[in-house]
Amino acid sequence: MSYLAKNYSRKKLSFEKGKGSFLYTKDGKKYLDFVQGIAVNSLGHSHPKLIKAINNQAKKLWHVSNAFIIPEGEILAKKIAKKTFADYVMFQNSGAEATEASIKVARRYFYSIGKPEKNRIICIKDSFHGRTLATIFASGSKKMTEGFGPKVQGFDHFKFGDHKKLKRLITKKTAAIMVETIMGEGGIKVIPDWCLKELRKLCNKKNILLILDEVQCGISRTGDFFAFDKSKVKPDIVPIAKGIGGGFPIGAVLMNKKVASAMIPGSHGSTFGGNPLAMKIGSEVLDIVSNKRFLKNVKKNSTYFHNQLSKLKKKYPKIIKDIRGRGYLIGIQLYTEQTNFIKNLMDNKLLTIRAAENVVRILPPLNVKRNELDQALKIINQVCLNLNK
């Protein structure tokens, strides 16, 4: 029997080791891993540079308290600030912590300027911002909040795309609008650039902060460092996590100077967040994935992959409804429930994961090779072919 709590429904499959885009079972079966820990292992498994970084740092220093200066964290924060809109960075350990801290920053900012009544956050219904008490209620999902009352107050919801409702929700009490630039768990739904721009304008007009949750879509997954880069919009607060650690748990809140001014000593903290081991690994990942040539490759190869998937959609119009997403954050939306499709892919040695709205989510490592993409396409084609019979 298993002594692990039963809060996951796990596939009957486990792995012994991983290398690049592949996972290996104990009995030598090889799987093409297009889950990658849910957009976490941005450089695949066992990347030599990350192995070197973790080994070198492990010999020196793992953890010290944030009561002391941590030079490794200073370096990573500076790198992030130089590359992005951010003026300041606050390190955490996970996505939920980063989004929850983002909510805290937004509220604390208005408190610090004498407007504590501005504390409500507007979010998209059935979005995903993590599993802490505050973030499940931020998601507005019935399923995630069931049994976890009393309700955490302070969140208002509109349906994806319902701009009228969004405008109606804004009051003098609204502190921030928090949305995923691309909804991940919610079904790989992209907020278009024009919409991000309008959101920014709306926030400026109403003195509201804009929080863009880039935990899943950020860190070069779309071929831009942030999914919002292309829109040229500057958010106030951005939580990141998943991809930045390449498999090591790291989260962070990126902030502009204005909101960061509220985070005075003692206002927030974390025991583990920003320790030297995490920071060294994060630095190594950042150097690799923010390289211009690397990003260009992500764009080029992912565009090829999208085009090929679109061809499969044309070939199997009764199975595939839509190809969603950008870069390597991809959803194949089916006409029917996706469990069987994912199982069939898995039986053919391709790992994928579900998202809402009948979506099969595909998350290759960012350094995936062209022939590995072709291998995946072949398997997807085969599964469609079998279902078409």
Instruction: Provide the binding-site residues for ligand PLP, judged by CB under 6 A.
Output: 94-96, 99, 128-130, 180, 184, 213, 215-216, 241-242
Total residues found in the chain within this entry: 389
Tokens of 233: 């919009």
**123 or 383: CB nearest ligand PLP:** 123
Nearer to ligand PLP, 47 or 221 (CB): 221
Q: For the CB of residue 372, give the shortest distance to ligand PLP in the complex, in Å.
A: 24
**Between 95 and 187, CB nearer to ligand PLP:** 95
Min dist CB 144 to ligand PLP, Å, is 11
State which H helix or E strand residue 305 sits in.
helix 292-315
Structure tokens at 231: 């829109």
- Residue 154 token pair: 């302070």
* Shortest Å distance, C-beta 241 to ligand PLP: 5
d(CA 291, CA 112): 37
Nearest-CB residue to ligand PLP?
95
Looking at the Cβ atoms of 191 and 384, the one nearer to ligand PLP is: 191
Minimum distance from residue 281 beta carbon to ligand PLP (Å): 15
Q: Least distance (Å) from ligand PLP to the CB of residue 329?
A: 10
Distance of CA 303 to the CA centre of its chain: 20
Q: Which amino acid is at 84?
A: T
Tell me how crowded residue 69 is: count the other CB atoms within 10 A of its CB: 8
Nearer to ligand PLP, 236 or 372 (CB): 236
Long-range contact set of residues 352-356: C-beta below 8 Å, sequence gap at least 24: 352/34, 352/35, 353/35, 353/38, 355/184, 355/185, 355/186, 355/187, 355/188, 355/331, 356/126, 356/185, 356/186, 356/187
In angstroms, give the least distance from the CB of 122 to ligand PLP.
16
Pick the closer one to ligand PLP by CB: 72 or 97: 97
